[in-house]
Amino acid sequence: MAHDLVFYTNPMSRGRIVRWMLEELGQPYHTELLSYGTTMKAPEYLAINPMGKVPAIVHRGTIVTEAAAICTYLAELFPEAGLIPPSGDPLRGTFYRWMFYAAGPIEAAITNKSQGFVAAEGKSGMLGYGSFEHVMTTLDGLLSGREFIVGDKFSAADVYLGSQIGFGLQFGSIEKRPSFEKYWAGISARPAAVKARAIDDGLIAASKK
């Protein structure tokens, strides 16, 4: 049976971000579960994503990889879900700004810190994010006193950037600042977020039996 929207994932991956996005949309989708080192590196999947990693989606023949790109694509594909400001709305630019900030500086800063990477003395200016501390301070300023990233409405930017904060708080890769904890507590309680976590946690539990 052909499916309009196919989601390739592993429940212990960034695919959890896209699962949440899909549940927010409320649209039908088919899940293909892949395993690290085996089906994720098989020729069939490498034809979809040569990087051999998840998540990825295929929508009517169109392949989209990278969680931020997938969330943005889906938000634009299903505007009725209200997960991206309308085209022409000034907030659309704000959406892109913070979505790409999350995919670029935040992602790089957290990854480098977790791997123990430190720029050579006097060379931090060559990094796209400058320093981990600068990124965290910028993020703190964004979230202080705010419920959502873009305006006063939940969006796909909250799914993506919010997931990074959630992962960071869970695994200790970011500081437990009050603004981060309050923001995450709010968005992580959304019904779609709860449902998505239950699905993936259930898949993890089933794989251990």
pLDDT band at 66 (very low <50, low <70, confident <90, very high): very high
CA–CA dist 92, 151 (Å, integer): 10
Say which DSSP state 103 is in: I
Which of 158, 39, 138 has the alpha carbon at shortest distance from 47? Answer: 39
Sequence-separated (6 or more) residues with CB below 8 Å from residue 59: 4, 5, 6, 73, 77
Q: Across the strands, what pairs with 7?
A: 31, 57
CA–CA dist 131, 121 (Å, integer): 12
Angle between helices 178-187 and 156-171 (to 10 degrees): 120
pLDDT digits over 99-129, tens only? Answer: 999 999 999 999 998 888 877 777 777 777 8
pLDDT value, residue 206:
94
Above 70 in pLDDT, residue 92? Answer: yes
Burial of 165 by CB count in 10 Å (0-12 exposed, 13-18 middle, 19+ buried)? buried
Which range (21-25, 30-34, 128-132, 153-157) has the least confidence?
Answer: 128-132
CA–CA dist 185, 98 (Å, integer): 20
